[in-house]
Amino acid sequence: MRRSSLGSSEEAAAEEEELRWAAIERLPTRRRVRKGIVLKRYGEGGGVVVPVEVDVRKMEVKDKVMLLESLLKVPETDNEDLLRTIRKRIDRVGIAIPKIEVRFQSLSIEGEAYVGNRALPTLLNSTLNAIEIAFLLFSPIARQWRLVFSIPNFFPQFRFSRLTLLLGPPGSGKTTLLKALAGKLDKNLKVSGEITYCGHDFTEFIPQRTSAYISQHDLHYGEMTVRETLEFSRRCLGVGSRQMMLEELLRREKTAGIVPNFDVDAFMKATTVATKRASLFIDYVIKILGLDICVDTVVGDEMRRGISGGQKKRVTTGEMLTGPAKVFFMDEISTGLDSSTTYQIVNYLKQIAHIMDETLVISLLQPAPETFDLFDDIILLSEGKIVYQGPTENVLEFFESMGFKCPERKGTADFLQEVTSAKDQLYYWFDGNKPYRYVPVTEFVSAFKSFYIGKDLFEELRHPFDKGGTHPAALERMKYAISKWELFRACFAREWLWMKRNSIVFVFKTVQIAIMAMLASSVFVRTKMESGQMEGAAKYGGALFFSLNNVLFNGLPEIAMTTMKLPVFFKQRDLLFYPAWAFALPIWLLSIPVSLMESGILSIITYYPIGFAPGACRFLKQFLALFGIHQMSLSLYHFAGVLGRIEVIATTIATFALLVFFVLGGYIVARYDIASWIRWGYYISPVMYGQNAIAINEFLHERWNMVSNSTEPSIGIAFLEQRGMFTTERWYWISIVALFGFCLLFNLLFILALKYLKRK
């Protein structure tokens, strides 16, 4: 539908639009996909509206707002019209939309769990469990495989263009089923049976990118705003095949001489073309989910005030809607939402499913009657088994055939969750000709197979899906949506934003190390430190050890900051937002300026007031050594944070490692005093290399060359030998290389731990 022309000014605007569109049509498709026509307001109060050609990747905020307002004046009603207009445009040129049908057959899931008395959460049991895990022991008596989910000899399916409700009481297996279908089950679980997308099993494509699993847990960076959270998700998930489809659409329209609605054309281009800037699609999702009132508010967490719980739940949903997935598995997305908001969101999802042929499965605990009526199909779970699968309008008929009836004033969803339980089943029995008896879940399952809905479903699924009819763009076969460089840039930008939002922590650390440096300068005063005597050497050695301690312990807050990020990382890693290295490298690179600043402040404040070896070269060499020690310690704390995954455990690991490194470092206990059976530990202690580097730099200076007689070594060398340290300049550079080698090693272990460890 073209814009109506009323009046001479509107006729002129329409002519201007046509001229500009003709100019766009002459461009190559690659450039044409980036150009659109939008209306801009000029003059006082925006009274003059002029059509302007714009690059959709660089649209101004006011242009986006005006475009969305023209298409979605009332989102509750206008969104369906917009989607139908888009679908009509696609169908008009004969382009097929990717569609996915999900099936699973004889699915069974088992998990290993402690049984009997060992299942009780006592101190003794916790200790025994930890010992078993640490030594990779397995007790067949204490730990057994327990059935979590089982659907034998049954072939459920989720069809495209259908909105399916997954219903069941808590503990019935809803989350387990959704994770299994999305390819997100824990690898320690035993899974048997077959899950297919359009007849293809999980070895033929990447299920985590083809589908989107929306967890019931709201895990986000509390420092980021709603818009920033969704923009990061959009940037990592990409646009999939939408841009290629849009290019094909434009080619066919040009060939057929079709002129589209300019607003819809600009909207499709702005929401489809991949861009590093804020996408119009983010504004669209924000508007649809009702997040526009908190779009620039930080999400918040336990320590930071932010948006409400219901808004967080909508952000969790919107995070995955920004991606190109065609299958959505949504787990308890209504928690914290009022019934009106839940209805609006489910209605929006229904429009997506029906109009854009997407596959949506939504798990809700207690949907309101009006929300329940929006669903096309329902799967009722109980005790890990499917009791009913089919159209929602036939579910009550099935239970009436079993002798159970939903009361008039009872919500259908509440009835379905209670009718299979031994506690509530009696209240719904209505067959007066037979006495009530408890009907177990297995009997409901058997009855459904003989019910006509079950028979029709079983007969339909006997025929395998035609894999040859699968759309080429339906299944994702690449692990990540964007290039490695773009993944790195996205994670780097987020980490830089996170550091700015937590700048108070880094300011505090800098002030702290400056205060400690001033205290050191006041304790180790150069006027009381003589450089020509062994007593003075001991004092200078103590000052160097104090500086090393300051640098080592200054980075301890990194443990807490690392563990805070892990829940979000594990979620996004499992959803294939980015790999572990893309998360770890920005943390390492952005820690380098911090190390330079803090090591520099310590060196500047302490070096000359304490009276270390004069000379710019010696100063720079001590600064380099302290920088290497600081970098090594930060890398160690990052690794410890991931290894422990919980702040208390990670801090324990880090402090124990520091204890070992200090004892074997050569200052507290000299090298020659370390027992021979553990002396090898001296050479693998990073503290040893840091201590040697700063000590060699100081005590091999010419001012420590004084000797009492020609047969004895100089004071500097004598002190180094007394402490079991090395006495040649080359060991300074060996120590520097070793420090940066440890830094590289700990960062590599950091990446490997991020890649392979699971969230606790």
pLDDT given at position 44: 59
Indicate the pLDDT class of residue 11, thresholds 50, 70 and 90.
low
Q: Which of 632, 599, 594 is nearest to 741 (CA)?
A: 632
pLDDT given at position 707: 73
Q: Give percent of the chain above pLDDT 90.
A: 48
Sign of CA dihedral 363, 365, 368, 373: positive
What is the C-alpha to C-alpha distance for residues 715 and 705, in angstroms, rounded to an integer? Answer: 6
Question: Are 180 and 107 in contact, with CB atoms under 8 Å apart?
Answer: yes
User: Quick count: other Cβ atoms within 10 Å of Cβ 475?
Assistant: 20
What is the C-alpha to C-alpha distance for residues 452 and 431, in angstroms, rounded to an integer? Answer: 21
- Domain 177-239+274-469 of CATH type 3.40.50.300: yes
The stretch 94-113 carries a mean pLDDT of 85
Q: What pairing do the DSSP bridges indicate for beta strands 359-363 and 162-167? A: parallel
Residues pairing with 212 in the sheet: 328
Cβ neighbours of residue 60 under 8 Å, at least 6 residues apart? Answer: none
Please list the residue range(s) of the chain that carry CATH number 3.40.50.300. Answer: 177-239+274-469
The stretch 467-484 carries a mean pLDDT of 89
Question: Are 742 and 635 in contact, with CB atoms under 8 Å apart?
Answer: yes
Sign of CA dihedral 511, 516, 522, 526: negative
Phi, psi of 686 (to 5 degrees): -60, -30
Comparison of pLDDT for 120 and 389, the residue scoring more: 389
Q: Give exposure, 141-155, as e/b (b: 16+ Cβ within 10 Å).
A: ebbeeeebbbbeebb
Q: What is the DSSP string of 169-201?
A: -TTSSHHHHHHHHTT---TTSEEEEEEEETTB-
Please report, for residues 225, 277, 278, 298, 392, the alpha-carbon distance to residue 501 in angstroms, rounded to integers and kept in the order given: 11, 20, 20, 10, 48
Burial of 386 (0-12, 13-18, 19+ CB in 10 A): buried
pLDDT in tens, 259-317: 888 889 889 988 887 666 667 899 999 999 999 899 999 999 888 899 998 899 999 99
Q: Give percent of the chain above pLDDT 70.
A: 92
What is the overall mean pLDDT for the chain?
Answer: 87
- Evaluate if residue 434 carries a pLDDT over 90: no
pLDDT in tens, 116-171: 777 777 888 878 777 776 665 555 545 555 555 566 555 677 888 899 999 988 88
Q: What is the DSSP string of 388-421?
A: EEEEGGGHHHHHHHTTB---TTS-HHHHHHHTTS
Which two tokens mark 633? 């310690």
What is the C-alpha to C-alpha distance for residues 546 and 524, in angstroms, rounded to an integer? Answer: 10
What is the C-alpha to C-alpha distance for residues 585 and 357, in angstroms, rounded to an integer? Answer: 39
The most confident of 60-69, 105-114, 256-265, 485-494, by mean pLDDT: 485-494
Torsion of Cα atoms, 528 then 548 then 738 then 669, to 10° = 80
pLDDT given at position 222: 92
Q: What pairing do the DSSP bridges indicate for beta strands 35-42 and 359-363? A: unpaired
What is the C-alpha to C-alpha distance for residues 596 and 521, in angstroms, rounded to an integer? Answer: 20
User: Quick count: other Cβ atoms within 10 Å of Cβ 497?
Assistant: 16
pLDDT in tens, 530-577: 776 788 888 888 999 999 999 999 999 999 999 999 999 999 999 999
Question: Are 545 and 606 in contact, with CB atoms under 8 Å apart?
Answer: no
The stretch 689-715 carries a mean pLDDT of 83
Indicate the pLDDT class of residue 2, thresholds 50, 70 and 90.
very low
- Evaluate if residue 391 carries a pLDDT over 90: yes
Cβ neighbours of residue 277 under 8 Å, at least 6 residues apart? Answer: 57, 58
pLDDT in tens, 508-518: 999 999 999 99
Listed as own residue / partner, the contacts of 708-712 with beta carbons closer than 8 Å and 24 or more positions apart are none
pLDDT given at position 566: 95
Chain centroid to CA 755: 13
Cβ neighbours of residue 708 under 8 Å, at least 6 residues apart? Answer: none
Please report, for residues 123, 129, 190, 275, the alpha-carbon distance to residue 119 in angstroms, rounded to integers and kept in the order given: 12, 10, 20, 51
Q: Which of 6-20, 201-215, 452-466, 532-546 has the lowest mean pLDDT?
A: 6-20
Burial of 259 (0-12, 13-18, 19+ CB in 10 A): middle
The stretch 443-470 carries a mean pLDDT of 85
Question: Are 194 and 106 in contact, with CB atoms under 8 Å apart?
Answer: yes
Helix axes 616-644, 580-610, angle to 10 degrees: 140
Tell me which H or E stretch contains 104.
Answer: strand 102-114
Q: Which of 147, 145, 142, 146 is nearest to 114 (CA)?
A: 142
What is the C-alpha to C-alpha distance for residues 302 and 307, in angstroms, rounded to an integer? Answer: 12
DSSP 204: G
What is the C-alpha to C-alpha distance for residues 167 and 731, in angstroms, rounded to an integer? Answer: 68
Indicate the pLDDT class of residue 1, thresholds 50, 70 and 90.
very low
Number of H helices, E strands in the chain: 29, 12
pLDDT given at position 211: 93
pLDDT given at position 422: 83
Q: What is the DSSP string of 25-81?
A: HTS-HHHHTTEEEEEEEESGGG-EEEEEEEEGGG--HHHHHHHHHHH-SSHHHHHHH
Comparison of pLDDT for 654 and 337, the residue scoring more: 654
User: Which residue carries 């077959």 as its tokens?
Assistant: 194
Indicate the pLDDT class of residue 5, thresholds 50, 70 and 90.
very low
What is the C-alpha to C-alpha distance for residues 332 and 726, in angstroms, rounded to an integer? Answer: 63
Tell me which H or E stretch contains 108.
Answer: strand 102-114
Sign of CA dihedral 138, 142, 148, 152: positive
The stretch 68-86 carries a mean pLDDT of 90
pLDDT given at position 3: 44
The stretch 99-105 carries a mean pLDDT of 89
CA atoms within 13 A on the CB side of 425: 14
